[in-house]
Amino acid sequence: MTSHRVIVDETEPTGGDEPPFEPRYVTVKKSKWVTDEYDIHNNLLGRGKFGEVKPCCEKRSGRQLAAKFIEFSGPQERKDVTNEVEVMRSLQHPRLLQIYDAFENKSAFCIVTELITGGELFERVINDDFVLTEKASVMFMRQICDGVSFMHSRHILHLDMKPENILCLSRQGNRIKIIDFGLARKYNPKSELKILFGTPEFMAPEVVNFDPVYPATDMWSIGVICYILLSGLSPFQGTTEPETLCNITTAKWDFSAEEFECISSDAKDFISNLLVKDPSKRMSCRECLDHKWLRKQIQRATKTVQRTLSTKRLRKFVYRRKWQRAVNAMLALKRMGVDLV
Ligand code: ATP
Ligand code: MG
């Protein structure tokens, strides 16, 4: 059984960091619709709260890409999608999803991006052929911090960091991409930014309390992702949404579950420096990349990081999130007035 399991964590991600296409300055096309220039395939790559994503092919070049369709009903929703396009335009980095084209008609947007074929990170990790170790987790966390560090250097906050928004570039390789800039915002340290959105389980206390948000707000969510990746347990998840939000605002969490018994103290220290209630005391992305757990040299010297971690609980987590997302997507369709029966 174990003989054909692939340990994909031996090396740093190599190659494939070249951009998927020449950097392009994308302007939103209003006189044409996406189907004029692209063939849209019917199979769904994914569905989120805001959009449906399908593979597509550029008629002119034969290039395979992805098309995210987002319907809007009023000027505010339209502004939000325009923001997504603007944010993506300024984010050219190998760990961040690259925009290729954009279209707008009376009631919808279509954002064409590079096509990512490896599926969601957590789905990959729970697959039978994947051996999850701390070392593999370090490799993923380092790439996540790399991408978010670039965003923060461009004064952009992601504000929706969660496992579904981290995709694997391919089914074999070990490189990831951060996607979904639908909630991303420009950040000006001199003016306060408050937000009223996010995904409860991954929300930082300042979001729940409607206090100003900072780059540190993304760092909290990265801490939650790391906690779940290593244990399959969601640190603040309650049985109801108000309970989850309450758990977040009290910021009480620990490593008492048996899943953490085999986790290194460096990994625990990494998480402990992110799940800190006071945003000013959380590690920044740069500090994360300098943290001993993420630093390669030290990682090589320890045995703990190579132990196989159980993904039993992580499987449960992934199935629960899938179910939750399906319900959310159905509610969103209902809100749009789509008849479901
Ligand atoms: P959310 O509910 O997280 O706010 P959303 O409506 O903004 O989502 P996305 O997160 O951008 O939509 O996309 C939904 C799903 O579609 C993703 O979780 C992913 O599985 C899939 N997906 C998105 N973009 C791509 C892509 N470029 N290539 C492959 N799959 C993609
Ligand atoms: Mg998403």
Q: Are residues 217 and 81 in the same domain?
A: no
CATH assignment of the domain containing 226:
1.10.510.10
Q: Are residues 138 and 240 in the same domain?
A: yes
Query: Residue 1 has what pLDDT?
Result: 37
| Segments of the chain scoring below 70 in pLDDT | 1-16, 296-304, 336, 338-341
Q: Which of 114, 141, 168 is the last residue of a domain?
A: 114
Q: Are residues 248 and 303 in the same domain?
A: yes
Pocket test for ligand 1, best of 68, 123, 333 (most atoms within 8 A of CB): 68
Query: Residue 59 has what pLDDT?
Result: 98
CATH assignment of the domain containing 63:
3.30.200.20
Query: Residue 9 has what pLDDT?
Result: 45
Q: Are residues 208 and 64 in the same domain?
A: no
Query: Residue 2 has what pLDDT?
Result: 38
Using the mean position of ligand 2's atoms as its centre, give its distance from the Cα of residue 165 in Å: 5
Q: Please give the number of the atom of ligand 1 that sits closest to the Cα of 116.
A: 28
The ligand that comes nearest to the alpha carbon of residue 114 is 1
Nearest CA to ligand 1 atom 13: 48
Residue 330 lies in a domain: no
Q: Are residues 242 and 296 in the same domain?
A: yes
Query: Residue 288 has what pLDDT?
Result: 98
223-246 pLDDT, tens digit per residue, is 999 999 999 999 999 999 999 999
Split into its structural domains, the chain has a count of 2
Query: Residue 12 has what pLDDT?
Result: 52
Active site residues: 160
Q: Are residues 92 and 236 in the same domain?
A: no
| Residue type at 50 in one-letter notation | F
Q: Are residues 88 and 141 in the same domain?
A: no
Q: Which of 70, 94, 114 is the last residue of a domain?
A: 114
Long-range contacts of 83-86 (CB under 8 A, 24+ apart): 83/184, 83/185, 84/111, 84/181, 84/182, 84/184, 85/26, 85/28, 85/109, 85/111
Q: Which of 114, 220, 225, 230 is nearest to 164 (CA)?
A: 225
54-84 pLDDT, tens digit per residue, is 999 999 999 999 999 999 888 888 998 899 9
**Pairing, β 51-58 against β 38-40:** antiparallel
Q: Are residues 209 and 71 in the same domain?
A: no
CA pair distance 264, 281, nearest whole angstrom = 22
Q: What is the 3-state secondary structure (H, E, C) of the chain?
A: CHHHCECCCCCCCCCCCCCCCCCCCCCCECCCCHHHHEEECCCCCEECCCEEEEEEEECCCCCEEEEEEEECCCHHHHHHHHHHHHHHHCCCCCCECCEEEEEECCCEEEEEEECCCCCEHHHHHCCCCECCEHHHHHHHHHHHHHHHHHHHHCCEECCCCCHHHEEECCCCCCCEEECCCCCCEECCCCCCCCCCCCCHHHCCHHHHCCCCCCHHHHHHHHHHHHHHHHHCCCCCCCCCHHHHHHHHHHCCCCCCCHHHCCCCHHHHHHHHCCCCCCHHHCCCHHHHHHCCCCCHHHHHHCCHHHCECCCHHHHHHHHHHHHHHHHHHHHHHHHCCCCCC
Q: Which residues are 126's β-sheet partners?
A: none
Query: Residue 3 has what pLDDT?
Result: 39
Q: Are residues 147 and 263 in the same domain?
A: yes
Residue 3 lies in a domain: no
Using the mean position of ligand 2's atoms as its centre, give its distance from the Cα of residue 218 in Å: 15
| Cα atoms found within 13 Å of the Cα of residue 216, Cβ hemisphere only | 19
Q: Which of 97, 114, 131 is the last residue of a domain?
A: 114
Q: Are residues 194 and 305 in the same domain?
A: yes
Write out residues with Cβ below 6 Å of ligand 1. 45-51, 53, 66, 68, 97, 113, 115-116, 120, 164-165, 167, 179-180, 182
**Domain ranges, residue 99:** 19-114
Query: Residue 13 has what pLDDT?
Result: 54
Using the mean position of ligand 1's atoms as its centre, give its distance from the Cα of residue 179 in Å: 7
Using the mean position of ligand 1's atoms as its centre, give its distance from the Cα of residue 53 in Å: 6
Query: Residue 341 has what pLDDT?
Result: 56
Nearest CA to ligand 1 atom 10: 180
**Pairing, β 108-114 against β 166-168:** unpaired
Cβ burial of 185 (10 Å; 0-12, 13-18, 19+) is middle
> Does 252 belong to an annotated binding site?
no
Query: Residue 4 has what pLDDT?
Result: 47
Pocket test for ligand 1, best of 164, 202, 225, 327 (most atoms within 8 A of CB): 164
Q: Are residues 110 and 127 in the same domain?
A: no
Q: Give the distance, in angstroms, between the CA of residue 70 and the centroid of all CA atoms in the same chain.
A: 18
CB 231 within 8 A of CB 223: no
Q: Are residues 100 and 131 in the same domain?
A: no
Query: Residue 197 has what pLDDT?
Result: 83
